[in-house]
């Protein structure tokens, strides 16, 4: 019936046609989340720093990264020890059983699996201190360097823009610069505080040569110091070709040798590795490839020692020689209980972050849409590749070699980029196809929770399938049921992207609701509401994890155990998410309960459910396991087979806060697999 061929042509139509006006058009119709139009993305953002104008890298974020770095280094140091310092650049080596002085159990663990406590136990205080100190020093250096770069960049930017005849009013630039400077100032202040903190934490002396030695050989750098800046700038990723168009935004630092070189390597999976590898193939990790700006670190020097005085912030004690300096450090900047406690807290924070779902690949994706709002449109826009140069800043690269979402409790980076986005979604800007959520991407719930703000404001198409989004919307409600209109509202409320082209996606939503068995319509007093049949939902999800050789490959390539674990966990989390998410589902009986689900991922065909699932009744009888949608007046009776019956109803009806469930889910990864 349809106009044949039309599809092709029509496909591009929506975007080009309504792309413009539809935003306000019908979006409101759905009661859409307030402030619709405001998001017009792009425009209002300050691209200069590669972050949201409001969300420019805050000092807090910086601190966070620093802390993370320190911990990463510590972990790696541990790792190094475990592997007997044997592995110059060989990831696998870490598995070597030659654990020296380190308990086997530890040696076999991924550094990421170590708890702060463990780390502390394993590392002797001096080692710990040494590591922290070392890291601290590097941070200081890099920060200084970064400030310089930033300023250079700013100048460059100004020049560029002026040359390019950028109509940007001087005022704006001026303000920008001013704002930037203020920010820097603020950062410096915070940095100072941080330093003091670390100081208190007892970053005592150590022989640089000693600490840096092993660290240098570490295969995978945590966040390479030099990359920190990149993160801020949203430095571009290698594989981002067409970005030039946006470059002038100041995101690129192509002029900076340091960063430039680090991007020569291949993208994908383990960008971090490439980041930390110098042209000559040597890992750069902590060896500061710092340029002239900062003093060279020689075996006999100390990052915090220079010109005969202690460079510790706020401390300018004069020291005759290094020895004296070290002594000074030991006495003046020692460790006390309080700082130790702080350190622990920091470690835990970092650890928490590490546990968070990671992003499989294709880190670029930032708020590209902000610069190219149209890219997010449904039509396959050829130039969509021109994301902003956002990217895979090293900060996103964890030692595990995978890219982790930047989001974190500590770092309000949300707006920076949509982490969970698999390469699939934004990428090619292609049509909305290939949502990744259902695959091995991070769990949608956590992903959403973490990047809530981002999706809410950025006109970026979420990397989730309609089905998963709908489900999410439904599960987020206490009743686990929503009317169509409520679902619409959720979409518009949660995603700026869905504030336009409403006809299109609404149709898609309806289509999905009808099409997928997992969505069950229940007649309610107030009309019909939709619920989710978790069983069905799980059923329909192919155990991608298992099957996808690519994924596996990716995971492995990146890899450290940690990476693997993380990825795996993320995947597991995603699959089990539903259960966790819905209190009601937690019961063992129900749907194969999460744990079981994991097998899927592992390779086992998903069957647990099959028992009854296979025979799943036609969609008409709403088997709303989904949650006992007791709510509906309609007795969920239909429930046949599912023996899980018992546990089903019991669970907290909705009472148990709904949204919070996410937390559960996020925690999940932690346990399993251990």
Partner DNA sequence: CATCGAGTAAACAGTC
Partner DNA sequence: CGACTGTTTACTCGAT
Binding site for DNA (CB under 7 A): 1-8, 10-11, 13-14, 29, 378, 380, 424, 428, 430-435, 438, 464-467, 483-485, 488, 503-505, 507-508, 510-515, 521, 527-528, 530, 540-542, 547-548, 550
Complex with DNA: residue 350 or 378, whichever CB lies closer: 378
Separation between Cα atoms, residue 190 and residue 177, nearest integer Å: 20
Residue 374 has φ and ψ, to the nearest 5°, of -75, -20
Least distance in Å: CB of 75 to DNA? 31
Least distance in Å: CB of 478 to DNA? 20
Least distance in Å: CB of 155 to DNA? 40
Least distance in Å: CB of 519 to DNA? 8
Complex with DNA: residue 338 or 511, whichever CB lies closer: 511
Q: H or E element: which one contains 522?
A: strand 519-524
Complex with DNA: residue 23 or 508, whichever CB lies closer: 508
Complex with DNA: residue 548 or 656, whichever CB lies closer: 548
Least distance in Å: CB of 468 to DNA? 8
Complex with DNA: residue 289 or 540, whichever CB lies closer: 540
Least distance in Å: CB of 418 to DNA? 15
DSSP 672: T
Least distance in Å: CB of 302 to DNA? 50
DSSP secondary structure string, 610-668?
A: HHHHTT---TTS--TTGGG-TTSSS-GGG--S-TTHHHHHSS--S-S-STTHHHHHHHH
Separation between Cα atoms, residue 354 and residue 68, nearest integer Å: 9
Separation between Cα atoms, residue 674 and residue 670, nearest integer Å: 7
Least distance in Å: CB of 528 to DNA? 3
Complex with DNA: residue 22 or 87, whichever CB lies closer: 22
Complex with DNA: residue 158 or 484, whichever CB lies closer: 484
- ∠ Cα 126 130 133 (to 5°): 135
The distance from CA 486 to its chain's CA centroid, rounded to whole angstroms, is 29
Complex with DNA: residue 431 or 659, whichever CB lies closer: 431
What does the longest C-alpha to C-alpha distance in the chain come to? 89
- What's the count of helices (H) and strands (E) in the chain, helices before strands? 26, 4
Least distance in Å: CB of 525 to DNA? 11
Separation between Cα atoms, residue 511 and residue 498, nearest integer Å: 16
Give the three-class secondary structure for 279. Answer: coil
Q: H or E element: which one contains 135?
A: helix 125-163
Find out whether 617 and 517 touch, Cβ atoms under 8 Å: no
Complex with DNA: residue 11 or 170, whichever CB lies closer: 11
Complex with DNA: residue 107 or 551, whichever CB lies closer: 551
DSSP 277: B
DSSP 388: -
Complex with DNA: residue 326 or 484, whichever CB lies closer: 484
Give the three-class secondary structure for 517. Answer: coil
Complex with DNA: residue 525 or 655, whichever CB lies closer: 525
174 contacts: CB under 8 Å, gap ≥ 6? none
Residue 21 has φ and ψ, to the nearest 5°, of -80, -25
663 contacts: CB under 8 Å, gap ≥ 6? none
Separation between Cα atoms, residue 535 and residue 614, nearest integer Å: 10
Q: Which residues pair with 318 in a beta bridge?
A: 309
Separation between Cα atoms, residue 196 and residue 190, nearest integer Å: 10
Complex with DNA: residue 175 or 514, whichever CB lies closer: 514
Complex with DNA: residue 327 or 434, whichever CB lies closer: 434
397 contacts: CB under 8 Å, gap ≥ 6? 221, 223, 224, 227, 270, 271, 272, 273, 275, 403, 404
Least distance in Å: CB of 34 to DNA? 18
Least distance in Å: CB of 487 to DNA? 8
Interstrand relation of 309-310 and 305-306 (parallel, antiparallel or unpaired): antiparallel
Least distance in Å: CB of 444 to DNA? 11
Complex with DNA: residue 29 or 323, whichever CB lies closer: 29
Separation between Cα atoms, residue 554 and residue 573, nearest integer Å: 18
Least distance in Å: CB of 454 to DNA? 18
Least distance in Å: CB of 433 to DNA? 5
Q: Which two tokens stand for residue 103?
A: 């308990």
Least distance in Å: CB of 566 to DNA? 19
Q: Which two tokens stand for residue 14?
A: 């929506």
State the sign of the Cα–Cα–Cα–Cα dihedral 436, 439, 441, 442.
positive
Separation between Cα atoms, residue 509 and residue 491, nearest integer Å: 10
Least distance in Å: CB of 400 to DNA? 21
Complex with DNA: residue 407 or 504, whichever CB lies closer: 504
Alpha carbon separation from 337 to 114, 139, 201, 331, 343 (Å, rounded): 21, 23, 8, 15, 10
Q: Left (φ > 0), alpha (ψ -120 to 50) or beta: where does 480 sit?
A: left
């Amino acid at each position: 019936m349809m106009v044949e061929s039309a599809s092709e042509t029509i496909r591009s139509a929506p975007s080009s046609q309504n792309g413009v006006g539809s935003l306000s058009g019908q979006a409101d119709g759905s009661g859409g989340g307030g402030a619709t139009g405001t998001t017009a993305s792009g425009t209002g953002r300050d691209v200069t720093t590669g972050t949201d104008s409001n969300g420019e890298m805050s000092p807090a974020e910086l601190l966070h990264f620093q802390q993370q770095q320190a911990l990463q280094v510590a972990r790696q140091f541990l790792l190094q020890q475990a592997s007997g310092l044997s592995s110059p650049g060989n990831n696998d080596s870490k598995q070597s059983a030659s654990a020296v002085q380190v308990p086997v159990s530890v040696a076999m663990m991924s550094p990421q699996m170590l708890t702060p406590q463990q780390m502390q136990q394993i590392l002797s205080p001096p080692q710990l201190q040494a590591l922290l100190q070392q890291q601290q020093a590097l941070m200081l250096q890099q920060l200084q360097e970064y400030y310089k770069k930033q300023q250079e960049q700013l100048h460059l930017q100004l020049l560029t823009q002026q040359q390019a005849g950028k109509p940007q009013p001087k005022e704006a630039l001026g303000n920008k610069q001013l704002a930037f400077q203020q920010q820097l100032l603020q950062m410096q202040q915070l940095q100072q505080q941080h330093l003091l903190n670390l100081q208190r934490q007892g970053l005592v002396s150590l022989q640089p040569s000693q600490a840096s030695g092993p660290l240098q050989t570490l295969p995978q750098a945590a966040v390479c110091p030099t990359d920190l800046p990149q993160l801020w700038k949203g430095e571009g990723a290698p594989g981002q070709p067409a970005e030039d168009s946006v470059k002038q935004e100041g995101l690129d630092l192509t002029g900076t040798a340091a960063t430039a070189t680090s991007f020569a390597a291949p993208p994908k999976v383990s960008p971090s590795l490439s980041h930390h590898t110098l042209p000559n193939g040597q890992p750069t990790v902590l060896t500061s490839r710092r340029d002239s700006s900062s003093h060279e670190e020689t075996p006999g020097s100390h990052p915090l020692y220079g010109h005969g005085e202690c460079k510790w912030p706020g401390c300018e004690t004069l020291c005759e020689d290094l020895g004296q300096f070290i002594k000074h450090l030991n006495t003046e900047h020692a460790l006390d209980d309080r700082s130790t406690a702080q350190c622990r807290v920091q470690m835990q924070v970092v650890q928490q972050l590490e546990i968070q779902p990671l992003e499989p690949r294709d880190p670029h994706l930032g708020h590209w849409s902000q610069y190219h709002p149209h890219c997010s449109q449904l039509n396959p826009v050829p130039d969509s590749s021109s994301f902003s140069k956002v990217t895979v800043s090293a900060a996103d690269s964890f030692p595990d070699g995978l890219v982790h979402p930047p989001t974190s409790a500590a770092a309000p980076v949300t707006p920076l980029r949509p982490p969970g986005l698999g390469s699939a979604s934004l990428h090619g800007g292609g049509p909305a196809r290939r949502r990744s959520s259902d695959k091995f991407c991070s769990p949608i719930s956590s992903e959403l929770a973490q990047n809530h703000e981002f999706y809410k404001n950025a006109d970026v198409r979420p990397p989730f399938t309609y089905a998963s989004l709908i489900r999410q919307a439904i599960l987020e409600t206490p009743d686990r049921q929503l009317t169509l209109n409520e679902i619409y509202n959720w979409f518009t409320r949660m995603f700026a992207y869905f504030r336009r082209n409403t006809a299109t996606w609404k149709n898609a939503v309806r289509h999905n609701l009808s099409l997928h068995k997992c969505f069950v319509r229940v007649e309610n007093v107030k009309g019909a509401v939709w619920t989710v049949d978790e069983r069905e939902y799980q059923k329909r999800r192919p155990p991608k994890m298992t099957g996808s050789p690519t994924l596996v490959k990716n995971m492995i390539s990146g890899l450290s155990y940690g990476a693997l674990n993380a990825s795996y966990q993320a995947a597991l989390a995603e699959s089990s998410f539903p259960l966790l998410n819905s209190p009601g589902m937690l019961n063992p009986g129900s749907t194969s309960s999460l744990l079981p689900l994991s097998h899927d991922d592992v390779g086992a065909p998903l069957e647990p459910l099959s028992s009854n699932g296979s025979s799943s009744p036609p969609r008409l009888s709403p088997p709303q396991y989904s949650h006992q949608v007791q709510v509906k007046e309609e007795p969920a009776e239909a429930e046949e087979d599912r023996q899980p019956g018992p546990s089903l109803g019991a669970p907290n009806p909705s009472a148990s806060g709904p949204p919070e469930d996410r937390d559960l889910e996020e925690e999940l990864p932690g346990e399993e697999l251990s």
